Amino acid sequence: MLSQNRLRDHGVEIGVLKPGALNAITDVPGVQVGHSTLIEGDNIRTGVTAILPHSKNIFQEKVPAAIYVGNGFGKLAGYTQVKELGNLETPIILTNTLSVPTAMNAVIGYTLNQPENDDVRSVNAVVGETNDGYLNDIRGRHVTEEHVLEAIENAKSGPVTEGNIGAGTGTICFGFKGGIGTSSRVLPKKLGGYTVGVLVQSNFGGVLQIAGVEVDKQLDRYSDALKYSADGSCMMVVLTDAPLDSRNLERLAKRAMLGLSRTGGIASNGSGDYVIAVSTAEACRIPYQSESTAQTTTTLRNEAMTPLFLATIEATEEAILNSLFAGETMIGRDGHKIEAIPKEQVLKMLKAAGKQN
C-alpha cells in the first residue's frame, strides 16, 4: 500500500470499533478483490473491480445475500433474483454504467466455463455501476469481457489498492476525485469476534464532512443550490463472516446508507445508491444441488445484530473517506479535470477540531 493515502495514516480514526489488520474488505476471511484499469490516451478513464466472497466455485456454493436500494437511479443487474432467493451465485462486479451488459456476459461465460458447471442453464450475474462519463469516454464502451475476466483473475486476498483504480478510475466524489475505498471493523470477542468489511465505488455528492467536521462548509464549496452537482452514485459492498440469513443481511445493508450520510452524502435524485450485503460464513453456504429438500443452518439472532450494524456504518463511512484520500487529480475526456481533495487544508481543519491523534 502507498503510504499516507488513507485517513488513518494521518491519525484520524472513524468510530469506536477497531479495524482489521488490513482495514479492508479482505479482512473477512476468504474474500478476494481484483481490478482491471483502463487509462488510455486523453479520454479513456474507466475500469472494473471484482469482489469474490470465497475462492471456490461460487455457483456451486452460493452465499446468503441481500441488496438494499437507497436511491434507485442506477442499473444494478441481478437484483430481483437476489431479492427473491436470498443468495448470490457469482462474483460481484463493479464497472461503469454503459458497461453493465458487457460485464454480465463476461460473468456468465466465466461461470459456465467453471468446472462442475457443465449442466448450468441459468446464471444470475450481479453487476453494479456508477457513471464515470465526465472523465471517461463512456459512450465508447471501452470495457471488454476480457477486462472483466482480468479483474476476476487478478482477485486476491491481502491489501486492496484504492483510489484511481478499477471501477473507481473515473469517478468523482463530493466534487473531488473519488474512486475505490475500503475499510473493516472487527467486533470484540464477547460480541462474536466477527469481521465486517466494506468496499465502495464512490461517485456521488452532497456536503462533505469528515469525522463530524464540516469540510465543505469551511471550504465554502456549497450553496443553497450546491456549487457542484450532487448527482452521481455509490456502490457499497458489505461482506461479513457473521452467519446471517438474507433477511438480516438486508437489515445490515440498510445501515451502509447511514455510513454514507455521515460523510455528507444525500442520496440525490440522480444518484444510484446500492448496497450488496453477503455472509461468507461457510456454514451458511447454499449448495446448488442437494439430496435433501431441507437445509439447516445456524444464524445469529436479531438481538446480535446491533454491533454488526455499528460496524457497517463505521466501515462504510471510512471506506468512502479512504476513496477520497487515495484519489489523485485526474484529467480526462475533453480535458475535464477533477482535483484530489486538498489534504493539507483538510487535515488542518481536523487538527483544529481535535480529530487527529
- Active-site residue set: 233, 271, 273
Buried b (16+ CB within 10 A) or exposed e, 189-217: eebbebbbbbbbbbbbbbbbbbbebebbe
Q: List Cβ neighbours of 148 (8 Å cut-off, separation of 6 or more).
A: 36, 48, 50, 93, 95, 102, 103, 106, 107, 110
272's grid cell: 444510484
Where does residue 29 rank: exposed (0-12), middle (13-18), buried (19+ CB within 10 A)? middle
What is the Cα 187 distance to its own chain's centre? Answer: 20
| Polymer length of the chain | 357
Sequence-distant (6+) residues with CB within 8 A of 160 are 22, 24, 25, 26, 33, 180, 182, 199
- The residues, ordered by sequence, that sit 6+ positions from 356 with a Cβ below 8 Å of its Cβ are 10, 11, 12, 347, 350
Which cell is 339 given? 482535483
- Residue 238 near residue 316, CB atoms below 8 Å: yes
- 108: which DSSP letter? H
Residues 6+ apart with CB under 8 A from 121: none
Where are the strands (E) in the chain, listed by range? Answer: 32-40, 44-52, 61-72, 87-88, 92-96, 126-130, 172-173, 176-177, 179-186, 195-203, 232-240, 271-279, 286-287, 330-331, 337-338
Going by DSSP bridges, is the β-strand pair 195-203/179-186 parallel, antiparallel, or unpaired?
antiparallel
The two counts, helices (H) then strands (E), for the chain are 7, 15
For residue 84 the three cell numbers come to 427473491
The radius of gyration computed from the CA coordinates of the chain, to the nearest angstrom, equals 19
